Amino acid sequence: MRNQDVARIFYKIADMLEIKGDNPFRIRAYRRAAQNIENLAEDITKVINQGRKIPGIGQDLMQKVKEILQTGTLQMYEELKTEISPGLLDLLAIPGVGPRTAQIIYEHYGVKDLDTLERLCLEHKIQQLPGIKAKTEKNILKGIQLIKKGRERRPLGLILPLAEEIIAILKKKCPVDRIDIAGSVRRCRETVKDIDILICSSSPGQVMDVFTTLPMVGDVIARGKTKSSIRTQDGLQVDLRVVEKDCYGAALCYFTGSKAHNIRMRELALKKGLKINEYGIFKGNKRIGGKEEEEVFKAMDLPYIPPELREDRGEIEAAMEGKLPQLVTMEEIKGDLHVHSKYSDGAGTIAAIAEKAKKIGLEWVAICDHSRSLKVAGGLSIEDLKRKRQEIDAFNRTHADIKLLCGTEVDILNDGSLDYPDEVLKLMDFVVAAIHTGFKQSEATLTNRIIKAMENPYVHSIAHPTGRIIGEREAYPLNLDEIFVKASATGTCLEINAYYKRLDLNDTLSQAAKKHGIKFTIGTDAHILDQMEFLRLGVFVARRGWLEKGDVINTMSYQEIMAFLCKRKTIK
């Protein structure tokens, strides 16, 4: 039973209690517990066996967690399911339909699935219900169609450019004093559900006009004086808030979230006899600040907490103790440690990759092509690899402003051996080892393959360690504890793969690995030149994983990293 499975049961219980009209704080307790379980970087069974506490889980919920782990379910949950049809929960998923509306529809028509509800809407049966009229019925219909189209979270790497485009248009067409992306995009979550934008302007009406008529608008959901929401033709919701200059910082805090972080901050404020909302910091009725985000934290006697950390995963406690990390920044990154070239399945020549790296502002880039057995990806023969070595050496002799590392992404074969012999690996500046086959093997087999690879002195890092692909493929089963211990013992780095669909290791696993003293390599895994710009996504993951400059070897200069990588080879 995985953490996610336990969390899912608690989320469902919360939904069902909500429909029953239970105590809202009890409902919140279940959601908070679910979220905290979801965020655990370690297996919940292990955490509980060691008697460690999980925030938001008291005596009662702890008992329930244990019951789930032992029996695979929960009696209370099973009982709730007999009271509340699971189909009713699906109604809650419709945007615009909350517990109240779902309950009314269910009571009158016993609707259990979206198709039936859609038919009833089309027959105008829903608008005959108490408190529901034509407009609401139409909105429910829209919501159903939206769900059918898929309202899943989307990768940040695809959404961020859109958010930046909207900002650029608003800046161009309206008088803008300040403007920022807020919400989960600002916190750099790996996937996002919507885009939040905060703006301060001398002409709010004009801002709303421009916003609700943006070229990508498919639908205007709401248009108010301070808040408007649109849905793009692609079905993505974008919310815009206009705020006064003096509230900007407080509003930015508020709309950046996360919700869990905000709740903690507000609770903290209450204890200090203060109140914070999106309009500022208040002592009684008197506003004592809110123009800048820093003021909000300062009022709580806290240092500034970077958006990437605002998930209520311990950042407030760390801030109180003065133990916040100095997060690694994009400016500190000197190179990319995983780019494919034309030698294998990449599209760029050595020279083109170097040129692109220079444009991005890098000092060096490691070109890591696939190894010989990965035929579908144009894996290099030993002869071709040696040719590549020569070309890169020649390039480096004639270029001072950008340096190339000759690398390989060597396959970890089914028995854990590597796809090139040591005498070939030895010729490389940088070796990142990866599993590309046998995903269906057992946890023990897969774990042992990686462990064996880490024992090879020429292997510097493990590429995309868990193999997950966002929205497409689950991580393969691994004993990550064992892997972290081994990585630490052998001095092997772990990769944060920055390709927008991978982001692997992810934030919480990176944070867990850091506790073992492991160092990280960030690589874009770019197969076309433009993908090298995903580098920042890798930095976002690192920041969300609480990593500092010293944890990420991409922050080293060319001389430093060459020395670092060389040292690893001589350990044997």
Partner DNA sequence: GCCGTTTTCGGCCCGACTGTTTTCAGTCG
**Least distance to DNA from the beta carbon of 252, Å?**
13
Nearest alpha-carbon partner for 499 in 390, 409, 382, 405: 409
- Determine the Cα–Cα distance for residues 49 and 69; give it in Å rounded to an integer: 11
Residue 248, SS3 per DSSP: helix
Return the beta strands (E) in 254-371 as ranges: 275-277, 280-283, 286-289, 335-339, 364-370
Determine the distance from the C-alpha atom of residue 280 to the mean position of all C-alpha atoms in its chain, rounded to a whole number.
Answer: 29
- Determine which helix (DSSP H) or strand (DSSP E) holds 430, and give its type and residue range: strand 430-434
- 302 vs 535, which CB is nearer to DNA? 302
Told to check if 558 binds DNA by CB under 7 A, we report no
Nearest alpha-carbon partner for 455 in 411, 484, 490: 490
Residue 282, SS3 per DSSP: strand
Told to check if 222 binds DNA by CB under 7 A, we report yes
Nearest alpha-carbon partner for 308 in 190, 167, 445, 438: 190
Q: Which of 100, 124, 148, 323 binds DNA (CB under 7 A)?
A: 100
Do residues 274 and 317 lie in contact, with contact meaning Cβ atoms separated by under 8 Å?
A: no
Residue 190, SS3 per DSSP: coil
Q: Which of 39, 262, 344, 466 binds DNA (CB under 7 A)?
A: 262
**Least distance to DNA from the beta carbon of 311, Å?**
15
Token pair listed for 41:
């970087």
- Determine the Cα–Cα distance for residues 221 and 228; give it in Å rounded to an integer: 7
- 23 vs 381, which CB is nearer to DNA? 23
User: For the chain, how many helices (H) and strands (E)?
Assistant: 24, 17
- 312 vs 369, which CB is nearer to DNA? 312
Q: Which of 98, 110, 205, 218 binds DNA (CB under 7 A)?
A: 98
Residues 505-544, one symbol each (x = binds DNA by CB under 7 A, - = not), give ----------------------------------------
- Determine the Cα–Cα distance for residues 316 and 55; give it in Å rounded to an integer: 13
Q: Considering only 38-46, 152-160, 261-269, 478-486, which stretch makes contact with DNA by CB under 7 A?
A: 261-269
DSSP state for residue 407 in the 8-state scheme: E
Told to check if 224 binds DNA by CB under 7 A, we report yes
- Determine which helix (DSSP H) or strand (DSSP E) holds 320, and give its type and residue range: helix 315-320
Task: Tell me which residue has tokens 């920055």.
Answer: 498
- Determine which helix (DSSP H) or strand (DSSP E) holds 231, and give its type and residue range: strand 227-232
Q: Considering only 18-26, 394-402, 442-450, 486-494, which stretch makes contact with DNA by CB under 7 A?
A: 18-26
Within 240-259, which residues bind DNA (CB under 7 A)? 255, 259
Told to check if 303 binds DNA by CB under 7 A, we report no
**Least distance to DNA from the beta carbon of 288, Å?**
15
Residue 240, SS3 per DSSP: strand
**Least distance to DNA from the beta carbon of 194, Å?**
6
**Least distance to DNA from the beta carbon of 45, Å?**
18
- Determine the Cα–Cα distance for residues 251 and 200; give it in Å rounded to an integer: 10
- 129 vs 427, which CB is nearer to DNA? 129
- Determine the Cα–Cα distance for residues 320 and 293; give it in Å rounded to an integer: 17
Told to check if 272 binds DNA by CB under 7 A, we report yes
**Least distance to DNA from the beta carbon of 201, Å?**
14
Q: Considering only 91-99, 381-389, 405-413, 421-429, which stretch makes contact with DNA by CB under 7 A?
A: 91-99
Q: Which of 6, 44, 88, 102 binds DNA (CB under 7 A)?
A: 102
- Determine the Cα–Cα distance for residues 80 and 464; give it in Å rounded to an integer: 40
CA distance readout (Å), 377 to 230, 346, 433 = 42, 9, 15
Told to check if 61 binds DNA by CB under 7 A, we report yes
Instruction: Note if the bond before 258 is cis, omega within 30 degrees.
Output: yes
Within 194-213, which residues bind DNA (CB under 7 A)? 194, 196
Within 8 A by CB and 6+ apart from 187, the residues are 256, 257, 258, 307, 308, 310, 311, 544
- 289 vs 545, which CB is nearer to DNA? 289
Token pair listed for 111:
């609707």
Q: Considering only 78-86, 264-272, 408-416, 557-565, which stretch makes contact with DNA by CB under 7 A?
A: 264-272
Token pair listed for 209:
């006009």
Q: Which of 45, 85, 96, 244 binds DNA (CB under 7 A)?
A: 96
Q: Which of 2, 49, 60, 550 binds DNA (CB under 7 A)?
A: 60
Q: Which of 11, 30, 297, 430 binds DNA (CB under 7 A)?
A: 30
Told to check if 266 binds DNA by CB under 7 A, we report yes
Nearest alpha-carbon partner for 522 in 474, 469, 545: 545
Q: Which of 9, 16, 33, 37 binds DNA (CB under 7 A)?
A: 33
- 23 vs 233, which CB is nearer to DNA? 23
Instruction: Note if the bond before 461 is cis, omega within 30 degrees.
Output: no
Told to check if 110 binds DNA by CB under 7 A, we report no
Q: Which of 180, 278, 311, 504 binds DNA (CB under 7 A)?
A: 278
Residues in the chain: 572
Within 144-183, which residues bind DNA (CB under 7 A)? 183
Do residues 454 and 431 lie in contact, with contact meaning Cβ atoms separated by under 8 Å?
A: no
Residues that bind DNA (rule: CB under 7 A) add up to a total of: 61
- 19 vs 565, which CB is nearer to DNA? 19
Q: Which of 2, 4, 23, 530 binds DNA (CB under 7 A)?
A: 23
Q: Which of 116, 191, 206, 237 binds DNA (CB under 7 A)?
A: 237
Q: Which of 35, 139, 408, 466 binds DNA (CB under 7 A)?
A: 139
- 21 vs 161, which CB is nearer to DNA? 21
- 2 vs 227, which CB is nearer to DNA? 227
**Least distance to DNA from the beta carbon of 324, Å?**
17
Q: Considering only 136-144, 327-335, 363-371, 426-434, which stretch makes contact with DNA by CB under 7 A?
A: 136-144
Do residues 300 and 269 lie in contact, with contact meaning Cβ atoms separated by under 8 Å?
A: yes
Told to check if 190 binds DNA by CB under 7 A, we report no
Token pair listed for 300:
């709580």
Determine the distance from the C-alpha atom of residue 443 to the mean position of all C-alpha atoms in its chain, rounded to a whole number.
Answer: 25
Binding-site ranges for DNA (CB under 7 A): 23, 25-26, 28-30, 33, 55-62, 76, 94-102, 127, 130-137, 139, 183, 193-194, 196, 222-227, 237, 239, 255, 259, 262-263, 266-267, 270-273, 275, 277-279
